[in-house]
Amino acid sequence: MNATLPTHAGEAVRVEGWIHRRRTFAGLTFLVLRDRSGLTQAVVTDGSTRRQVEDLPEETVVRVEGTVRANPKAPGGVEVIAPVVTPLSPPASPSPVELWRPRLDAALPTLLDHGAISWRHPAQNAVWQVAAASLRGFRQTLDAAGFTEVATPKVTATASESGADVFSVDWFGRPAFLAQSPQLHKQVLVGVFERVYETGPVFRAEPHDTARHLAQYTSLDVELGFLEDHHDVLAVLRDVLAGMAAAVAEQVGGGTRPPGLELPVVPAVVPVLHFRDALRLVGADPEEPDLAPEHERALSRWALREHGSEFLAVEGYPAAKRPFYTHPQPDDPRWTNSFDLLFRGLELVTGGQRLHRHADYVRALTARGEDPERYRSYLDVFAHGMPPHGGFAIGLERWVARLTGLDNVRRSTLFPRDLHRLTP
């Protein structure tokens, strides 16, 4: 229902929105109007207005002017009577998805082909309100902690995360790449601002066609200097997640709640498990270099059982599987000061401590058979005084999908881009 109406019982009102549904009975027609605050029911009894409304298909945009009347049986306890209806758009063509149904049951490709229509459904709209609230909570938490928001280039001369899975751009005739992450830029900006964040698009030419990969997604990036190790990064991550969860709770308190939403409880301290112990716990080969999706699910179940936590940080990932900028574990360089954060069975965040000495970068790249010269414009900065630092990146669409119980990140992305999809 329209959140602002109940205060106006007995008064004249004007509501503008979309015809969500018309229902015709013997002596009257119900006109249900949808706007950003919800649904409003208008009761049409006048004969010519009934005929007018019958000619206005669902999704036509109209202005309704009438009088508010209390009615305990109407949505929200009020309805609009004696409405005068003025169309604000031509009569709408038949919708490719039936928005008036309680659940959108169209197939995923249909929903995505008509994204700007599908998202009008109140339950789908509410999913994106969760995303917007998450962004708000993310920024508020970091602004309060002395972080500076930055904007980094999305086209670069060098791939940031080694050469794989990168899109090529023709830059005035020169070869260039879409940024896979703001990684190297956010790191060198620690030298300027100490603590930085960015919310923006990142691009992965993922050949995977799965329910959790997108070719463009929104990355919530954080980087901070002057830390002991990756546990300081985890402490900031914990506060950020708590801030995001609180902003979502506030949002759904005042608006529509996505049907599958389950708000998480962020523990005061996120439990941490070493990668080596994680492998043992799930019964995997101790030489495995990474966690399989079923391992991540098993570890999440374990954290919930043992620690009552929906969040689990797995630290110490093997150096061989982490990017060149990852800081080794000081007492055993086979492992690293890095972590993945698992949330409800899925990797949601990657983070850790980075190298901060120029010589360490040259060594790390050389050991991987990469030419440090390719990274020169970033690496040079590390010769000019960089503090110990680290950071993390949260995938917004994964966070929202986990929070709202969606089985595919495409359902928490307004206009997904993937191996097959380049429109709308």
| Residue whose CB is less far from its own copies, 72 or 90 | 90
The whole-angstrom separation of Cα 157 and Cα 177 is: 6
| Residue whose CB is less far from its own copies, 76 or 267 | 76
Residues 6+ apart with CB under 8 A from 369: none
- Which DSSP state fits 375? G
> Which of 307, 321, 358, 363 is in the footprint of its own copies by CB under 8 A?
358
Q: Tell me the C-alpha to C-alpha distance, in Å, between residue 362 and each of 156, 338, 377.
A: 20, 20, 13
Count the Cβ atoms, other than its own, within 10 Å of residue 51: 11
| Residue whose CB is less far from its own copies, 25 or 172 | 172
| Residue whose CB is less far from its own copies, 147 or 335 | 147
> Which of 120, 204, 410, 411 is in the footprint of its own copies by CB under 8 A?
120
> Which of 396, 401, 403, 406 is in the footprint of its own copies by CB under 8 A?
396
Contact status: 119 vs its own copies (CB under 8 A) = yes
Site map (CB under 8 A) of its own copies, residues 261-300, x = contact: ----------------------------------------
Residues in a beta bridge with 196: 148, 223
- Which DSSP state fits 248? H
| Residue range at the interface with its own copies (CB under 8 A); choices 229-237, 303-311, 339-347, 382-390 | 382-390
Report the nearest approach of its own copies to the CB of residue 47 (Å).
25
CB 402 within 8 A of CB 348: yes
Site map (CB under 8 A) of its own copies, residues 223-242, x = contact: ---x----------------
Report the nearest approach of its own copies to the CB of residue 222 (Å).
14
Residues in a beta bridge with 68: 80
Report the nearest approach of its own copies to the CB of residue 131 (Å).
8
Contact status: 383 vs its own copies (CB under 8 A) = yes
Cis-peptide, bond into residue 182, ω within 30° of zero: no
- Which DSSP state fits 76? G
Q: Name residues contacting its own copies, limited to 403-422 (CB under 8 A).
A: 414-415, 417, 419, 422
| Residue whose CB is less far from its own copies, 322 or 389 | 389
The whole-angstrom separation of Cα 84 and Cα 360 is: 73
Residues 6+ apart with CB under 8 A from 213: 204, 206, 409, 418
Report the nearest approach of its own copies to the CB of residue 219 (Å).
11
CB 291 within 8 A of CB 315: no
| Residue whose CB is less far from its own copies, 270 or 386 | 386
> Which of 35, 98, 229, 239 is in the footprint of its own copies by CB under 8 A?
35
Contact status: 60 vs its own copies (CB under 8 A) = yes
Residues in a beta bridge with 318: 335
Q: Name residues contacting its own copies, limited to 126-145 (CB under 8 A).
A: 128-129, 131-132, 135-136, 139, 143
Contact status: 149 vs its own copies (CB under 8 A) = yes
Say which amino acid occupies 252: V
Q: Name residues contacting its own copies, limited to 150-169 (CB under 8 A).
A: 150-158, 167-169
Query: Which of 356, 395, 364 has its CA nearest to residue 190?
Result: 356
> Which of 81, 82, 92, 242 is in the footprint of its own copies by CB under 8 A?
92
Q: Tell me the C-alpha to C-alpha distance, in Å, between residue 3 and each of 36, 75, 85, 160.
A: 9, 11, 20, 47
Query: Interior CA angle at 148 toward 147 and 149, to 5°?
Result: 120
| Residue range at the interface with its own copies (CB under 8 A); choices 210-218, 291-299, 344-352, 402-410 | 210-218
Q: Name residues contacting its own copies, limited to 95-114 (CB under 8 A).
A: 95, 113-114
Helix ranges, 209-326 (H):
230-254, 275-281, 293-307
| Residue whose CB is less far from its own copies, 82 or 381 | 381
# residues contacting its own copies (CB under 8 A): 89
Residues in a beta bridge with 77: none
Site map (CB under 8 A) of its own copies, residues 167-206, x = contact: xxxxxx-x-x-x------x--xx-xxxxx----xx-x-x-
The whole-angstrom separation of Cα 19 and Cα 30 is: 11
